[in-house]
Amino acid sequence: MGWGLLAMVVVTFLIVCLRYILNVGWVWLQEIVLYTHAAVFLLSMASVLRKDGHVRVDVFYRGLLQRRKDQVDGLGAFLLLIPTCAVILYTSIPYVLDSWRVFEGSKDGGGLEAVFLLKSLIPLFALLLLMQGLRMGLRDWRRWRRANA
Helix (H, G, I), strand (E, B) or coil at 115: helix
Look at residue 17 and tell me whether its pLDDT is greater than 80: yes
| pTM (predicted TM-score) | 0.85
Biggest CA-to-CA distance, the chain? 70
- At 31-85, the pLDDT tens digits run 999 999 999 999 999 999 898 877 776 777 788 888 888 888 888 899 999 999 9
The residue type of 117 is L
Q: Domain locations in the chain?
A: 2-147
The average pLDDT across 120-142 equals: 94
The average pLDDT across 138-149 equals: 84
Pairwise CA distance, residues 87 & 124, whole Å: 13
